[in-house]
Chains A and B, each alone.
Chain A
């Protein structure tokens, strides 16, 4: 469970109080998509927090993250499927691994990467730089990158963005299949997630007060 208490960030101008149960999936929807994305960004620590705090299972999130590596706690997938342009795809997938390698060992990386690439039917040469790969494949690879760590909570910002119809169906199926293993917080306005995903829906209204 993630609780936001009086949270104000650069993307959330008015104090926001939210209790996100993540049992196992919560979907955030807002008329202004930046607001729902802003909640995810605030949780991962991307936006400057002006006031308020974030708690994970009753403990300040910052305290939890001093004990656990961030990629193993929160697996964040950006809407744009961002990759570092100066690294090849394999280096991109490996990069967060440098933080947890001592615990896990690098040999597990190839196994996990292959497993999730199969799940998303990705056939991409990992030695390529991101500029040479389709953005929809990069988006799916960014999902793979997050899932490799088996994170406690998967944060998905607009999962369908950049994907074609087939990839959307595939993405939906994979997320459906893993939703009992991973808590998920999804920012989306797609009906697939808001209506058919069997998830708690939190609608962030204009005045930033949450209505479930």
Chain B
């Protein structure tokens, strides 16, 4: 039985981090990583979030076009609206908004689920089988959330661009092929890199922080919501900080 007076220390954090990195990098022959957990995580984080992400993406695409077109047309530059779409939606909003949705849905779910598993002794059960809880629960979720984040961000971008084109019809009848042609002209290599890199980094942060907070619960069920709140706060902060760093790298690449 775990000693309730044992507190989580910085050593525990580094131990958790080191174990997670080690086991995440040793995929081959690692029977402890469950493809079923990865698939279920992709299903929950990715597939089940598609309607919400789709709705938000459609709204964001439309709003960016509405605001951008009304602003740019006052300078006679309404044809540059695709540039706004690429700069605002593709580079920034898609990954950040998707990350916020994933934090709200999956980050909280992961933290709560793992916290309850600790309280119910399910982590000890895994250990009693000789199964590594880090590999089985954390690393599997890490991969699941990262894959789901990439899928959701790509989906967000597609819907936002389509939504933008649809709403652009209000102002002027722009052909789909012309709109997409102009859009792809604005899309450069570094943009494509960021479309993949940002969701991967954000997914890693969300899954890691949520798992760590969930696994940090000691004995009481009252700790679970407290840890979940911490997971949300830390995930949002770290996602925003990493977004600034990645955007700065992107800016360095394009200058």
The answer on A and B forming one complex is yes
Given A85-B117, A96-B129, 18 further pairs, Cβ under 8 A: A10-B3, A11-B1, A41-B124, A45-B127, A47-B1, A48-B6, A74-B128, A78-B124, A82-B120, A82-B124, A84-B125, A85-B116, A85-B120, A85-B122, A96-B130, A96-B131, A99-B31, A99-B131
Least CB distance from A28 to B in Å reads: 14
Q: Is the CB of B121 within 8 A of A80?
A: yes
Least CB distance from A64 to B in Å reads: 12
A42-62 interface bits toward B, Cβ cutoff 8 Å, 1 = contact, 0 = none = 001111100000000000000
Least CB distance from A113 to B in Å reads: 16
Query: Cβ of A65 < 8 Å from any Cβ of B?
Result: yes
Q: Which of B22-55 contact A (CB under 8 A)?
A: 31, 34
Least CB distance from A71 to B in Å reads: 6
The 6 closest A-B pairs by CB, nearest first: A70-B130, A10-B3, A96-B129, A76-B128, A82-B125, A82-B121
**Which of B125, B128, B130 has the largest count of A CB atoms less than 10 A from its CB?**
B128
With A11-B1, A82-B121, A85-B116: A44-B6 Cβ-Cβ less than 8 Å: no
Summed over the interface, the residue pairs from A and B with CB atoms below 8 Å come to a total of 62
A14-35 interface bits toward B, Cβ cutoff 8 Å, 1 = contact, 0 = none = 0000000000000000000010
Q: Is the CB of A78 within 8 A of B2?
A: no
Binding site for B on A (CB under 8 A): 10-11, 34, 37-38, 41, 44-48, 65, 69-71, 74, 76, 78, 80, 82-86, 95-96, 98-99
A147 to B3, CA, bound (A): 29
Least CB distance from B226 to A in Å reads: 21
Least CB distance from B27 to A in Å reads: 15
B1-23 interface bits toward A, Cβ cutoff 8 Å, 1 = contact, 0 = none = 11100100000000000000000
Q: B92 to chain A: which residues have CB within 8 Å?
A: none
**Which of B3, B31, B125, B129 has the largest count of A CB atoms less than 10 A from its CB?**
B129
Q: A82 to chain B: which residues have CB within 8 Å?
A: 120-122, 124-125
Q: A80 to chain B: which residues have CB within 8 Å?
A: 121
A98 to B129, CA, bound (A): 10
B97-136 interface bits toward A, Cβ cutoff 8 Å, 1 = contact, 0 = none = 0000000000000000100110011101111111100000
Least CB distance from A189 to B in Å reads: 16
Binding site for A on B (CB under 8 A): 1-3, 6, 31, 34, 113, 116-117, 120-122, 124-131
Least CB distance from B81 to A in Å reads: 46
A11 to B130, CA, bound (A): 20
Q: Is the CB of B1 within 8 A of A34?
A: yes
A-B contact pairs, 25 of them (CB 8 A): A10-B1, A10-B3, A11-B1, A11-B3, A37-B1, A41-B124, A44-B127, A46-B124, A46-B127, A46-B128, A47-B1, A48-B6, A71-B129, A78-B128, A80-B121, A82-B125, A85-B116, A85-B117, A86-B113, A96-B130, A96-B131, A98-B34, A99-B31, A99-B130, A99-B131
A95 to B2, CA, bound (A): 24
Q: B122 to chain A: which residues have CB within 8 Å?
A: 82-85
Q: Is the CB of A10 within 8 A of B2?
A: yes
**Which of B3, B121, B125, B131 has the largest count of A CB atoms less than 10 A from its CB?**
B125
Q: B116 to chain A: which residues have CB within 8 Å?
A: 85
Least CB distance from B8 to A in Å reads: 13
Q: B124 to chain A: which residues have CB within 8 Å?
A: 41, 46, 78, 82
Q: A70 to chain B: which residues have CB within 8 Å?
A: 128-130
A85 to B124, CA, bound (A): 13
A29 to B120, CA, bound (A): 24
